[in-house]
Chain A
Amino acid sequence: MKRGKGMKFVGDSRIPDREHRMKNIPKDYSEYPGKTEAFFPNYLLKEWLVGAVFLIGFLCLTIAHPAPLEQEADPNATGYIPVPDWFFLFLYQLLKYEAAAGAFTVLGTVVIPGLAFGALMLAPWLDKGPERRLSKRPIATGMMLLGFISVAYLTWEAADQHEWGGAASIDDDVREIDTTHPGYDIYVEESCIACHGDNMEGTAMGPDLYDLAYDEEGVAQIVVEGIGEMPAVIDADQTEEIETISEYVVSGGGTNEGAGGAEGDEDAEDTDDDEEDEDADE
């Protein structure tokens, strides 16, 4: 606050008298070099216009792609493959390499990121020269490009190697299955329920069983022989049990529309196609 000679204060305050106070008049920018513009209000209004356009684009994004929400956290779901948000993928990927894992974990978690971010923070002292043009400071430019390319590459690799379908198969589609059906007892006894969920909604270990692409014979075969990671669950000579559970599973626990019959099969194929499309997209 200015406290020059001859300054009068109003009462006992430090606020100067009106005639000694700064006038609320904008600077005259006509003497500034080039096409300099005043920030307020000229430039700020243009910024608001750009901001409004940006906001509309951003809102379109949020409407087109609602924020995902997976099922509630279950610490016992050991089969779940964790994946961090995209901006941490580079670090996540770095830790997958042998040279930065196991005994060398410290290298991957502390040393390499520490050096990279440390160098970023100390950039003004690592690159002290007065030159500002890119071509005049090749080392700084080269290091930054190297860092940028490494991060981009690691992120790309992490995204490429992750099985996105695995996470997507756990969705919100949960239907109430028919627990009075004799098939339900077999579903519980043979521990199908452990992997395919209380309502056949699927878990991290097994897919959901709604609208399956298999008919009763197909399910019977899987139950006896297993498929993929799923083990065989029922002995081949227990034909009655196999028949019951197959019928029960093909009907989606009684939740599929038009369970059984030609229509049901058609639905099942549609679902299968959709899944394949999704895979292709990824």
Chain B
Amino acid sequence: MLQRIYDWIDDRIDITPIWRDIADHEVPEHVNPGHHFSAFVYCFGGLTFFTVVIQILSGMFLTMYYVPDIVNAHASVEYLQSEVAFGMIVRGMHHWGASVVIVMMFLHTLRVFFTGSYKKPREINWVVGVLIFFVILGLGFTGYLLPWDMKAYFATQVGLEIAISVPVIGDLLGELLAGGEIIGAQTLTRFFAIHVFFLPGALLGLIAVHFIMIRRQGISGPL
């Protein structure tokens, strides 16, 4: 039955090459912790992706309750945290996941650096990886404001002061992020849009490029 469904689809869109591309590649001995335990360092990239998936899923559920305006934001987070079934766990996953993504990504970066895997022909993939690093830091920064509590507000104030101190474009950058001269209603909606639409879009695009390049180039050989 499954075979017939597969054939039916394959007759129409010829998915076998795509499926074989995704599924059929070798896992060399030197990256397989089953053979050499020290190869666990090669897991950090995958764990970063796994945590990013957790972030996207938990974030999708958070937006079901979160209200991005300064009057209701804090109350909606409080309600989500204390009243909604499993709300505490979902918010906890998103909160701690942010830290875990950064830790895993940092370890992945160190692994790639210290195994010299960024060298020819993988330069472009390294650059894409560093861009992913920036996008994730941006997600961490913009997500911090959304609960609209004391910590969020004052940490964002510091962040925006840093942005404004950039020469030439600083003032424009600050206004673009804050949506005005003070941190207020505009800032919250902008950070929400950046956190929920702009940066995740960029992140998914970059991750796709990252993965396609890995499939093209294969994993770097043993040292």
Contacts and interface: CB of A to CB of B under 8 A. Distances in A.
Interface in B121-177: 122-123, 126-127, 130-131, 133-134, 137, 140-141, 144, 147-155, 157-159, 162, 165-167
B165 A110 contact: yes
Given A84-B155, A84-B159, A106 B119 contact: no
Contacts of A106: 165-167
A120 B47 CA distance: 22
Interface stretch (A69-77, A174-182, A205-213, A236-244): A69-77
B38 interface: no
Given A62-B93, A84-B155, A87-B99, A132 B115 contact: yes
A70 B20 contact: no
Given A69-B81, A75-B183, A95 B118 contact: no
Interface stretch (A14-22, A218-226, A249-257, A261-269): A14-22
Interface stretch (A133-141, A185-193, A273-281): A133-141
Contacts of B17: 22
Contact of B26 (A39, A50, A81): A39
A148 to B, nearest CB: 7
Interface of A: 1, 10, 15-16, 18, 21-24, 26-27, 29, 32-41, 43, 46-47, 50-51, 54-55, 58-59, 61-63, 65-75, 77, 80-88, 91-92, 95, 105-106, 109-110, 117, 120-121, 123-125, 127-134, 137, 140-141, 144, 148, 167, 170, 204
Interface stretch (B4-12, B189-197, B198-206): B4-12
Residue with the greatest number of chain A CB neighbours at <10 A, chosen from B26, B30, B120, B165: B26
A37 B11 contact: no
Contact of A16 (B14, B77, B162): B14
B168 to A, nearest CB: 10
Given A67-B96, A85-B140, A141-B114, A73 B149 contact: yes
Contact of A69 (B93, B149, B220): B149
B180 interface: no
Sort A-B residue pairs by CB-CB distance and give the 4 closest, nearest first. Answer: A132-B116, A82-B154, A62-B92, A67-B95
Interface of B: 6, 10-14, 16-17, 19-20, 22-30, 32, 34-35, 43, 46-47, 50-51, 54, 70, 74-75, 77-78, 81, 88-89, 91-100, 102, 110, 113-120, 122-123, 126-127, 130-131, 133-134, 137, 140-141, 144, 147-155, 157-159, 162, 165-167, 182-183, 220, 223
Q: Chain B at the A interface: mostly helix, strand, loop or mixed?
A: helix
Contact of B29 (A34, A80, A148): A34
A87 B137 contact: yes
Contact of B150 (A23, A27, A34, A70): A70
A207 to B, nearest CB: 15
Contacts of B162: 91, 95, 109
B130 A121 contact: yes
A148 B110 contact: yes
Contacts of A81: 154
A16 B12 CA distance: 10
A72 B22 CA distance: 47
Given A38-B26, A123-B113, A124-B123, A167 B151 contact: yes
A81 B183 CA distance: 17
A38 B93 contact: no
B143 to A, nearest CB: 9
Nearest to B74: A72
Contacts of A37: 26-27, 32, 34
B187 to A, nearest CB: 11
A82 B99 contact: no
A124 B116 CA distance: 9
8 contacts: A22-B16, A40-B22, A59-B93, A67-B94, A71-B150, A75-B153, A121-B131, A125-B123
B50 A83 contact: no
Nearest to B93: A62
Contact of A132 (B26, B98, B119, B141): B119
A68 B34 CA distance: 38
Given A59-B93, A82-B155, A132-B119, A204 B150 contact: yes
Contact of B20 (A1, A24, A33, A144): A24
A140 B126 CA distance: 15
Contact of A54 (B11, B50, B78): B50
